[in-house]
Chain A
Amino acid sequence: MSKLKSTIALVLITILILGVCFMSTVSFSYGYDQMYTFNSIISALQKDSNLGGTLFDGENYVGGGYSSVYYPEGVISVQEYTDNLAQLNELLAMTDQNDPDYKERKDAVEDYVARYDQQGSVYLEKSIVYGDKDGTEVSDDFIEDFENAEAILRNRLERLHMEGVRLDVRDDFTFRVTMPTYSGAQAVMLNYFSYMGEVDMGSGSDAGSATRLLLGDGETIRDYIKSADSFTVNGTAYVQLDFTSKGAEKLAEWTTAALDDAPVTLFFYIGEEAIVSLTVTEPVKTSTLFISGGYTAETARAVALTIESSLKCEPSELVLSVGETVRLEAAFGNLALVLLYVGFGVLFVGMMVFFIMRYRALAVAHLYTFLVWILAMILLLWASYAVMGLSGMHIGIETFAAIVIAGTLLCVSNIVTFENVRKEYALGKTMSSAVKAGYKRCIWQLFDLHIALALLSAIMFAISLTELSVFAFTLLIGVLLSGLCTLAVNRFHWAAFMVFAKDEGKFCNFKREAQVDE
């Protein structure tokens, strides 16, 4: 490579590295009155529930999660009980004892107190939870419904396959559901997942007055609807409902009217809540419905999971209402991410010190290779999360672990090539033939190593879920890029930098065998 070509190539690469480095790490405000904000790729990458941080605008928080409490009908919090009682007492206190309403208001207070029983940190409405207003023990029906609701929620949340999803039974009578922010549809999920009861379908002009399915003796909704699923094609998300032949007949019957009259609207319910409404303009003659419109991949998944779990699990008669919801910040604290960056910085400095001590100016070639590798990693991760929309992908501790392991692999691979070239150079070869021979000695070893590790990561990514899947995916990208960088990019950088070396041996801290013997 000539000096001119090397200079041009290195200048271009340097500009590219600096540009991507700037985009990846620097956030700033710009425009009139600083009204626009550019958030660096690293800061804008969605973090998992353990990590998180505020974006440069100071308002948006990436990472962490949301947590809601589901209250079954008949169960209220101490705060709600206290507030309601305080209101009734306030009304009573404002009423004169001679007022005709006084007795009524006094009875209301006494009724309210008699209606509830305190159990730890919740109040239970006796007639609903005990099955009798004079009861003292939770009824078997309530226990069974509560256990079924727990199983349905577990099914829905587990099948989401997301890091940071959590289900707690709170105070023995309520549920606390936690969703990560990166899920992208936490509001919809927290709302839909509280729907309990049997799946039902109906046809009519609105959800409230629609004609509902009349199940015959011994029939269940499973005799009509087989399953629910979701998928995304060309950016459009669909909810897929599979019907039995009986269900398909019912659909055809209900939608036949669409030919003659106005469009027919079909409704699908969970308990009394309509979860899907579908306007049909022609008769449906298939046993599968693909429903789109307004869904994202995540919301379609939430709808499908809600229906599917209600079909597959024992139904629960509980009516759950979504109570207090809070936004959770990073579970490991906001310092965790900063310390991980610091750790990565320390490792980077340590790596450079080693390479400079061992290989002198050749360390610059390694530095360029490493920067190309890490920036390509960041861009590919960003592209896979933001552009390709790989579901469930996010930055977590496992991402850092994979980056560090793959980065170490790159460093070790470069050391292997450098050492092989060192041995060839020591035998008396010229630098270019030593490089050629050195690479020839180890190319297949490194090729096999990277292919085998990439294969291992790819299969793990394909089969595993959540954290392991993110770990394997990051490793896959890291290993493939490591192979490419060590076998191609590093060699190119070496050749480009070597042109400027007056003494090639000194440049790389390589010595001839005779010199070694001295």
Chain B
Amino acid sequence: MNKLILNKLFSILLAISGAVIVLGIVVYAIWGFNIAPDRPQHYTFEVNYDVVIELNEKEEALQDLCENVFDANGLNYSKKEVLVSIDNSSFSETTDKSLIYTFNSAKTENLEKAVQAVNSELTKAGSAYADAIVSASWHTLESERFYDYAWRGAIAIAVAAIVTLAYVGIRYGVSCAVAGLACCIHDALFTVAILALVRFPVFTYAPVLYAAAAAFLSVLLWLVLSNKIRENLKAPEAASVPSGETIKNTVQASKKALITLAAIFAGVILVLGGITLFGAAEVALLVLPMLLSVAVPLYSTLFIGPEILVPVRAAFDKKRAQKKAVYVGKKKADATDAE
């Protein structure tokens, strides 16, 4: 009865994982990830000015002027930068500067109105900026996407997982490697599938990073569990118990250790993400989704890996037993002795 419930639970979890991964791939194929933090399409409002503005201590007044104009035109900027201009021939810094406001979304007619308002204020008779060379303009920007990084990253994770779990196969047995590989691939795919599905805003390069972190932690947690399983299977009392039962008992006994280990990693991510939330929200945006790279491997190590390991190990045990049964060397020797 208990076994039946467990098998049913495993089937449900497997179906959920499969559905999430397939849906995630479909969503990714159609819309990709939500890469809003990278501003694939945005607008800028730029004011280029020379050293006179700085010498006259008018930089702040210029910023106030722009921001008041934005307010009047219903524009909300997401980033403000004061950048130093570079001389193209010597590639050294000049005394000219650019005040750049970035808008994630804006109406172009409002930007045009803002440019006209700022320029007329800058050039009007008796303007405080009359001595300076200063002008405002607005721009649309659309970024190009690079794909090399993503596919090379995916191949890197897959190859690394296979080679690493080949090592696991040598040290812990093929069944452990097969289940571990299934978990590792599952974790990497499941993590990025969730990100694609929930449309969580991520930087373009981040999903591969999260997948790699998930693969890393998946191998780590699986090795911790594999160590325990190997230890328990070698114990004398395990000889009289089916290996499947020993594995399940080991998972139950190791639950606390695995959850603690995952909690430590989660805690570390939370502290780092939490602190950067105050003053560097973009860092937090990059760090906090890594919690998914911890939660997914924990889920697969506890619920998916062992369920795959049990039948795989049973199949290998059966094969080994058949091989032993086929062995006729001793019988032949006995027959020769009898003759």
Contact B282 A453 (CB under 8 A): no
Which residues does chain A contribute within 8 Å of B137, judged by CB atoms?
Answer: 77-79, 121
Measured between beta carbons, the chain A residues less than 8 angstroms from B157 are 460, 464
Residue B71 lies at the interface, judged by CB distance under 8 Å to chain A:
no
Q: With A and B bound together, what is the CA distance between A508 and B91 in angstroms?
A: 60
Q: For A172, what are the chain B residues with a Cβ–Cβ distance below 8 Å?
A: 140
Which residues of the partner chain B approach A187 to less than 8 Å between Cβ atoms? 91
In the A-B complex, the 9 residue pairs with the closest CB atoms: A463-B156, A336-B280, A459-B160, A187-B91, A464-B156, A326-B83, A325-B86, A343-B275, A158-B146
Known: A159-B148, A326-B85. A460 touches B48 (CB 8 A): no
Q: How far is the CB of A23 from chain B (nearest CB, A)?
A: 25
In this complex, which of B85, B91, B272 has the most chain A Cβ atoms within 10 angstroms of its Cβ? Answer: B272
A451/B212 contact (C-beta < 8 A), A167-B144, A332-B283 known? no
Q: Do the beta carbons of A463 and B149 come within 8 Å of each other?
A: no
Q: Enumerate 26 A-B pairs (CB-CB under 8 Å) in ascending A order.
A: A78-B135, A79-B48, A121-B140, A150-B144, A163-B205, A168-B142, A171-B139, A326-B83, A331-B282, A332-B282, A335-B280, A340-B283, A343-B272, A401-B290, A404-B272, A411-B264, A452-B223, A456-B215, A457-B216, A463-B156, A465-B153, A466-B149, A468-B149, A468-B205, A468-B208, A471-B212
A405-B265 in contact (CB<8A): yes
* B319 beta carbon closer than 8 Å to chain A: no
- Quote the shortest CB–CB distance from B224 to chain A (angstroms): 7
Q: How far is the CB of B82 from chain A (nearest CB, A)?
A: 9
Q: Is A120 an interface residue (CB 8 A)?
A: yes
- Rounded to whole Å, the gap between the CB of B304 and the closest CB of chain A is 19
Closest to A336 in B: B280
A347–B155 Cα distance when bound, in Å, is 33
Partner of A400, one of B172, B264, B272: B272
> Are the CB atoms of A397 and B148 closer together than 8 Å?
no
User: Max chain A CB contacts within 10 Å: which of B153, B213, B268, B280?
Assistant: B280
Give the chain B neighbours of A92 by CB distance below 8 A.
none
Measured CB to CB, the closest approach of chain A to B234, in angstroms, equals: 12
Q: How many chain B residues touch the partner (CB < 8 A)?
A: 70
B residues apposed to A, CB below 8 Å: 48, 81, 83-88, 91, 93, 98, 100, 108, 135, 137-144, 146-149, 152-153, 155-157, 159-161, 163-164, 167-168, 171-172, 205, 208-209, 212-213, 215-217, 219-220, 223-224, 227, 261, 264-265, 268-269, 271-272, 275-276, 278-280, 282-283, 286-287, 290
Output the least CB separation between B242 and chain A (Å): 25
With A332-B280, A339-B280 in contact, is A445–B140 under 8 Å at CB?
no
Question: A79 to nearest B CB, angstroms?
Answer: 5
Alpha-carbon gap, A25 to B279, bound state (A): 23
| B144, B147, B209, B283: the one within 8 Å of A467 (CB) | B209
Interface residues on A, range: 35 or more
What is the minimal beta-carbon distance from A256 to any residue of chain B, in angstroms? 38
CB–CB A121/B138 < 8 A: yes
Question: Which of B168, B268, B269 is the most central at the interface, judged by chain A CB atoms within 10 Å of its CB?
Answer: B268
Give the complex CA separation of A328 and B86 in angstroms: 10
Most chain A CB neighbours (cut-off 10 Å) among B81, B100, B209, B217: B209
Contact B276 A340 (CB under 8 A): yes
Cα distance, A171 to B111, chains bound together (Å): 13
Q: Which residue of B lies closest to A415 (CB)?
A: B264
Query: B167: which A residues are within 8 A, CB to CB?
Result: 451-452, 455
What is the 8 Å Cβ interface bit string for chain A, positions 480-506, against chain B (1 contact, 0 not)? Answer: 000000000000000000000000000
Please report which residues of chain A, range 313-328, place their CB below 8 angstroms from some CB of chain B when the two chains form the complex. Answer: 322, 324-328
Contacts of B272 in A (CB 8 A): 340, 343-344, 347, 400, 404
CA distance A333 to B102 in the complex (A): 14
With A120-B140, A168-B142, A471-B209 already in contact, the answer to whether A333 and B280 are too (CB < 8 A) is yes
B205 surroundings in chain A (CB, below 8 A): 163, 466-468
| Cβ contact within 8 Å between B216 and A455 | no
Q: Would A336 and B142 be within 8 Å (CB), given that A324-B85, A460-B212 are in contact?
A: no
- Docked CA distance A471–B293 (Å): 14
CB distance from A1 to the nearest CB of B (A): 31
> A437-473 interface mask toward B, CB cutoff 8 Å, 1 = contact, 0 = none?
0000000010011011101111110111111100110
Min Cβ gap A156→B in Å is 11
Candidates A153, A339, A445; contact of B278 at CB < 8 Å: A339
For residue B87, which residue of chain A has the nearest CB? A325
- Residues 153-179 of A contacting B (Cβ, < 8 Å): 153-154, 157-159, 161, 163, 165-172, 176
